[in-house]
Amino acid sequence: MTARRHRYAIAMLLLAPFAGRGAEVTYKIDPAHTYPSFEADHMGISVWRGKMDRTSGTIVYDKAAGAGTIDVDVDLASISFGMPKLDEWARGTDFFNVAKYPTAHYHGRFSGAKQGQPATAEGTMTLHGVSQPMALQIHRIKCIPHPLYKRELCGADALAHFQRDAFGLDAGKSYGFDMTVTLRIQVEALAAP
Protein backbone atom coordinates (compact mmCIF):
# COMPACT_ATOMS: atom_id res chain seq x y z
CA MET A 1 0.00 0.00 0.00
CA THR A 2 1.37 3.39 -0.92
CA ALA A 3 1.80 6.11 1.72
CA ARG A 4 -1.01 8.11 0.13
CA ARG A 5 -3.46 5.18 0.25
CA HIS A 6 -2.37 4.43 3.81
CA ARG A 7 -3.17 8.01 4.91
CA TYR A 8 -6.53 7.79 3.09
CA ALA A 9 -7.38 4.51 4.86
CA ILE A 10 -6.51 5.98 8.27
CA ALA A 11 -8.64 9.07 7.55
CA MET A 12 -11.61 6.88 6.57
CA LEU A 13 -11.27 4.84 9.77
CA LEU A 14 -11.20 8.02 11.87
CA LEU A 15 -14.27 9.43 10.09
CA ALA A 16 -16.24 6.17 10.08
CA PRO A 17 -18.15 6.90 13.32
CA PHE A 18 -19.50 10.06 11.67
CA ALA A 19 -20.49 8.48 8.36
CA GLY A 20 -24.19 8.64 7.61
CA ARG A 21 -24.88 11.17 10.33
CA GLY A 22 -27.02 14.13 9.38
CA ALA A 23 -26.25 17.68 10.23
CA GLU A 24 -27.49 19.12 13.49
CA VAL A 25 -29.19 22.49 13.14
CA THR A 26 -29.86 24.92 15.98
CA TYR A 27 -33.35 26.41 16.05
CA LYS A 28 -34.45 29.33 18.21
CA ILE A 29 -37.89 28.93 19.76
CA ASP A 30 -40.40 31.42 18.38
CA PRO A 31 -42.15 32.91 21.43
CA ALA A 32 -45.02 34.17 19.28
CA HIS A 33 -45.93 30.61 18.26
CA THR A 34 -45.05 28.62 21.39
CA TYR A 35 -47.53 28.37 24.26
CA PRO A 36 -47.24 25.49 26.73
CA SER A 37 -50.67 24.72 28.14
CA PHE A 38 -51.77 22.57 31.03
CA GLU A 39 -54.79 20.82 32.52
CA ALA A 40 -55.26 20.29 36.24
CA ASP A 41 -58.00 18.94 38.50
CA HIS A 42 -60.27 21.24 40.49
CA MET A 43 -61.79 19.38 43.46
CA GLY A 44 -62.48 16.32 41.33
CA ILE A 45 -65.40 18.06 39.65
CA SER A 46 -63.82 19.93 36.73
CA VAL A 47 -60.60 20.37 34.80
CA TRP A 48 -59.00 23.80 34.79
CA ARG A 49 -56.89 24.82 31.85
CA GLY A 50 -54.27 27.51 31.40
CA LYS A 51 -51.23 28.46 29.39
CA MET A 52 -47.93 30.25 29.64
CA ASP A 53 -47.54 33.24 27.35
CA ARG A 54 -43.73 33.64 27.35
CA THR A 55 -41.34 30.87 26.37
CA SER A 56 -37.76 30.92 25.08
CA GLY A 57 -34.99 28.48 24.29
CA THR A 58 -33.30 26.40 21.63
CA ILE A 59 -33.75 23.06 19.92
CA VAL A 60 -30.83 21.30 18.27
CA TYR A 61 -32.19 18.81 15.75
CA ASP A 62 -30.71 16.34 13.31
CA LYS A 63 -33.62 15.53 10.98
CA ALA A 64 -31.97 12.53 9.35
CA ALA A 65 -31.25 10.81 12.67
CA GLY A 66 -34.24 12.15 14.62
CA ALA A 67 -31.77 13.16 17.32
CA GLY A 68 -31.02 16.32 19.23
CA THR A 69 -31.64 18.30 22.38
CA ILE A 70 -34.21 20.67 23.82
CA ASP A 71 -33.56 23.57 26.20
CA VAL A 72 -36.67 25.56 27.12
CA ASP A 73 -37.36 28.27 29.68
CA VAL A 74 -40.93 29.18 30.60
CA ASP A 75 -41.67 32.50 32.29
CA LEU A 76 -44.03 31.49 35.11
CA ALA A 77 -45.24 35.07 35.60
CA SER A 78 -46.89 34.73 32.18
CA ILE A 79 -49.42 32.17 33.45
CA SER A 80 -52.93 32.73 32.13
CA PHE A 81 -56.04 30.90 33.26
CA GLY A 82 -58.25 33.61 31.76
CA MET A 83 -59.06 34.57 35.37
CA PRO A 84 -56.91 37.49 36.59
CA LYS A 85 -57.39 36.73 40.32
CA LEU A 86 -56.39 33.10 39.83
CA ASP A 87 -53.38 34.18 37.75
CA GLU A 88 -52.31 36.52 40.56
CA TRP A 89 -52.69 33.76 43.15
CA ALA A 90 -50.68 31.30 41.03
CA ARG A 91 -47.80 33.80 40.79
CA GLY A 92 -47.78 34.36 44.54
CA THR A 93 -46.11 32.59 47.45
CA ASP A 94 -48.91 30.02 47.82
CA PHE A 95 -48.06 28.44 44.47
CA PHE A 96 -45.31 29.27 41.94
CA ASN A 97 -43.73 32.03 44.03
CA VAL A 98 -42.36 33.69 40.89
CA ALA A 99 -40.40 36.23 42.93
CA LYS A 100 -38.19 33.34 44.07
CA TYR A 101 -38.65 30.85 41.19
CA PRO A 102 -39.35 32.93 38.06
CA THR A 103 -38.88 30.22 35.44
CA ALA A 104 -39.44 26.55 34.73
CA HIS A 105 -36.66 24.90 32.73
CA TYR A 106 -36.74 21.72 30.65
CA HIS A 107 -33.64 20.06 29.22
CA GLY A 108 -34.08 16.88 27.25
CA ARG A 109 -32.74 14.69 24.48
CA PHE A 110 -34.77 13.14 21.65
CA SER A 111 -34.98 9.35 21.64
CA GLY A 112 -36.81 6.45 20.03
CA ALA A 113 -36.50 7.77 16.47
CA LYS A 114 -38.13 5.90 13.60
CA GLN A 115 -37.48 7.16 10.07
CA GLY A 116 -36.08 10.40 11.46
CA GLN A 117 -39.04 11.08 13.77
CA PRO A 118 -38.26 10.96 17.52
CA ALA A 119 -40.93 9.33 19.67
CA THR A 120 -39.97 10.97 22.95
CA ALA A 121 -37.72 13.46 24.65
CA GLU A 122 -36.14 12.18 27.85
CA GLY A 123 -35.04 14.91 30.21
CA THR A 124 -35.39 16.91 33.39
CA MET A 125 -37.90 19.55 34.40
CA THR A 126 -36.87 22.10 37.01
CA LEU A 127 -39.87 23.80 38.59
CA HIS A 128 -40.25 25.59 41.92
CA GLY A 129 -36.60 24.83 42.72
CA VAL A 130 -37.05 21.07 42.26
CA SER A 131 -35.68 18.95 39.39
CA GLN A 132 -37.47 15.77 38.35
CA PRO A 133 -37.16 13.44 35.35
CA MET A 134 -39.78 14.08 32.69
CA ALA A 135 -40.49 12.37 29.38
CA LEU A 136 -42.30 14.20 26.61
CA GLN A 137 -44.24 12.19 24.05
CA ILE A 138 -43.52 13.70 20.63
CA HIS A 139 -46.58 13.40 18.40
CA ARG A 140 -45.08 15.13 15.40
CA ILE A 141 -42.13 17.17 14.20
CA LYS A 142 -42.27 18.82 10.80
CA CYS A 143 -39.90 21.28 9.14
CA ILE A 144 -40.60 23.58 6.20
CA PRO A 145 -38.90 26.58 4.56
CA HIS A 146 -40.24 29.71 6.28
CA PRO A 147 -42.00 31.75 3.57
CA LEU A 148 -40.78 35.11 4.91
CA TYR A 149 -37.43 34.49 6.61
CA LYS A 150 -36.14 31.98 4.03
CA ARG A 151 -34.78 29.77 6.81
CA GLU A 152 -36.06 26.42 8.00
CA LEU A 153 -38.97 26.48 10.42
CA CYS A 154 -39.79 23.42 12.53
CA GLY A 155 -42.87 22.76 14.58
CA ALA A 156 -43.75 20.03 17.04
CA ASP A 157 -46.51 18.85 19.32
CA ALA A 158 -45.63 17.19 22.63
CA LEU A 159 -47.40 15.84 25.71
CA ALA A 160 -46.39 14.95 29.26
CA HIS A 161 -48.07 14.02 32.54
CA PHE A 162 -46.56 14.77 35.94
CA GLN A 163 -47.43 14.99 39.62
CA ARG A 164 -47.26 18.63 40.69
CA ASP A 165 -46.76 17.79 44.36
CA ALA A 166 -43.42 16.19 43.36
CA PHE A 167 -42.31 19.77 42.71
CA GLY A 168 -43.68 21.07 46.02
CA LEU A 169 -46.83 22.46 44.36
CA ASP A 170 -49.39 20.71 46.55
CA ALA A 171 -52.11 23.36 46.92
CA GLY A 172 -55.48 21.64 47.26
CA LYS A 173 -54.03 18.21 48.03
CA SER A 174 -55.58 18.16 51.51
CA TYR A 175 -58.97 18.81 49.86
CA GLY A 176 -58.58 15.82 47.58
CA PHE A 177 -57.38 17.55 44.41
CA ASP A 178 -55.72 15.12 42.00
CA MET A 179 -52.08 16.19 41.68
CA THR A 180 -51.77 14.98 38.07
CA VAL A 181 -51.08 17.71 35.52
CA THR A 182 -51.25 17.21 31.77
CA LEU A 183 -48.77 19.40 29.93
CA ARG A 184 -49.27 20.08 26.24
CA ILE A 185 -46.65 21.92 24.21
CA GLN A 186 -46.97 23.21 20.71
CA VAL A 187 -43.70 24.76 19.63
CA GLU A 188 -42.31 26.46 16.57
CA ALA A 189 -38.62 27.21 16.14
CA LEU A 190 -36.68 28.97 13.40
CA ALA A 191 -33.22 27.92 12.25
CA ALA A 192 -30.55 30.26 13.53
CA PRO A 193 -29.10 32.51 10.79
* pLDDT value, residue 116: 84
pLDDT in tens, the chain (193 residues): 555 554 444 344 333 334 344 699 999 999 999 999 999 999 999 999 999 999 999 999 999 999 999 999 999 999 999 999 999 999 999 999 999 999 999 999 999 999 889 999 999 999 999 999 999 999 989 999 999 999 999 999 999 999 999 999 999 999 999 999 999 999 999 999 8
* pLDDT value, residue 19: 39
* pLDDT value, residue 1: 53
Tell me the CATH architecture of domain 21-191: Beta Barrel (2.40)
Beta-carbon neighbour count of residue 64 at 10 Å?
14
* pLDDT value, residue 10: 39
Distance of alpha carbon 142 from alpha carbon 121, whole angstroms:
16
107-114 contact pairs (CB < 8 A, 24+): 107/69, 107/70, 107/71, 107/72, 108/69, 108/70, 108/134, 108/136, 109/67, 109/68, 109/69, 109/70, 110/61, 110/66, 110/67, 110/68, 110/69, 110/70, 110/138, 113/65, 113/66, 113/67, 114/66
* pLDDT value, residue 193: 87
